[in-house]
Chain A
C-alpha cells in the first residue's frame, strides 16, 4: 500500500514525531511504500539541523535522514510554517537575508500543494500529532 504521512508533532516534545518515523520504517519493512512525509505547523521543527539529542535518547533527525536516504522518501516542509519558525534552506536564507540555512538538506521546503498532491498519490494518509 502507498502511504503518505502528515507530521504535526515537533521532535522531543511528546512521542508523535518519533512514532511517525518508526511507522514509516515499519511500513517499508513490510513491503509498503511511503510516498511523502509532509511536515506542517510545529512538525517542521523536525528538520532543524542544529538539534543535539542526548546520547541515550533516539535521534529523530537522524532517523528521518536515514529514511530519506535509504528508502528514497521525500521529506517536505510547509513553507509558511517553516519560515515563521526560522527553518530555512540556503535559498530562503538568501531571499530573507539570513546568515545561514537552518534545516538539514534531506528536507525540502515547498507549499501545501505538496500535501494535497500526496493525498492524491497515496492510498492512505496518516496524521501524527496534535
Chain B
C-alpha cells in the first residue's frame, strides 16, 4: 500500500487513444494514483489530445471506450485536465466541444505546471 506522504504526480499523455495499449495504461496510472489519494494531474500533449474527443465509437475494433474513461475521471477526484493548446489547434479541436474540466495551456503555463508536481510520468 502506498505510504501516506502526499506525493503529487503529473501524468503526461502523448499517445492517441487506439493505436496502442499505452493510452489506456496512462489513464489507469492516473486513476490508481487518485484511488490512493495522491494528488494527480493529467496533461494531454501531441497526439494525446485525440483522447479528449467525446464521441468515440471503438466497439468495432473490440476495445473499451477511452472517452468514457475520461468522462469518469471527476468521479475519482481528478477535477482538472490540462492540454497543450497548440496541439488542440493542430488537430482543429475546439475546447468548447471537449470535456468541460479541460484547461488549455500555452507553453509557458505547461512549464509552470511541470514544476508544480513531485513526479512526472510521461507516456
Interface size class of A (residues with CB under 8 A): 20 to 34
Bound CA span A64–B35, Å: 30
Assess whether A40 is in contact with B29, with CB atoms less than 8 Å apart.
yes
Known contacts being A116-B38, A117-B2, is A42 close to B32, with CB within 8 Å?
Answer: no
Known contacts being A120-B2, A121-B3, is A111 close to B32, with CB within 8 Å?
Answer: yes
Assess whether A41 is in contact with B2, with CB atoms less than 8 Å apart.
no
Question: Contact partner of A120 among B5, B20, B123, CB < 8 A?
Answer: B5
Interface size in chain B (residues, C-beta < 8 A): 25
Bound CA span A112–B9, Å: 13
Question: Contact partner of B119 among A78, A111, A119, A130, CB < 8 A?
Answer: A119
A residues within 8 A CB of B119?
119, 122, 124-125
Assess whether B22 is in contact with A117, with CB atoms less than 8 Å apart.
no
A residues within 8 A CB of B9?
116, 119
- Chain B interface (Cβ < 8 Å from any Cβ of A): 1-3, 5, 7, 9, 14-15, 20-22, 25, 28-29, 32-33, 35-36, 38, 118-123
- Chain A interface (Cβ < 8 Å from any Cβ of B): 6, 8, 40-42, 78, 80-81, 111-113, 115-117, 119-122, 124-125, 127, 130
